[in-house]
Amino acid sequence: MLADEIADRWPRLFHMAEAGSWPSIQRHGLLSTQALCDLYDVRQPHRDDLLARKRPQSVQLAHTEHGTAWVRDNKPINETVLRRTLVGMDEASWYRTLNSRVFFWLSEERLAKLHAAYRGRRHDLLVVSTAKLLAAHGGEVELCPLNSGAVHAGAVVTRGAETFRRIADYPWEERRRITRREPVVELTVPYAVRDIADLVEDVRAL
């Protein structure tokens, strides 16, 4: 599948950020947790707590120049099952893999599930043009066939170094045989999307 075929099938992408984040996102771009730690000058040992370990709660960062920002928890990761299903890396490497990228949902159904999990908090929803994002970042984009931030007790699907694949390397036929309805679950961009303000079609309050 080519980039234009992806854009035709999934014309919009969705990213849910903490309420009030949009002005900062406009200034700095949409940042991965790693990029956010760089911007906020997060030092050790707190840096490894955020990037290489499970976060049982969301964490607020503060900076004299940049103000505050939130790093979302990853409560849905069952670490016992994660250890059993990881291939080719340890848990710290997996957390670093997740924290080094920006995530977009391809479906509003997936977005709704994430929103339901944080129903007590207000959010900014970024609706992004898939065609524009792929035109600007298609060479960097990596796709994922599962919800990489959730590892439930009954999970059997392996994850690891081969979970995120470039568009040209993504196993499209294999994924279509498994589920034609949702061959891709997440679209990711490594580190940051600096020009996100040029790619956004709408920003909504959730």
Residue 120's pLDDT is what? Answer: 87
Residue 1's pLDDT is what? Answer: 84
Q: How far apart are CA 80 and CA 94, in angstroms?
A: 14
Determine if the peptide bond prior to 45 is cis (ω within 30°).
yes
Residue 87's pLDDT is what? Answer: 97
pTM for the model stands at: 0.96
Pair of tokens at residue 148: 């990489």
**Which of the residues in the chain have pLDDT under 70?**
none
84-111 pLDDT, tens digit per residue, is: 999 999 999 999 999 999 999 999 999 9
Provide the residue range defining the domain that includes 143: 3-205
* Number of Cα atoms under 13 Å in the Cβ half of residue 182: 13
Residue 197's pLDDT is what? Answer: 98
Number of domains in the chain: 1
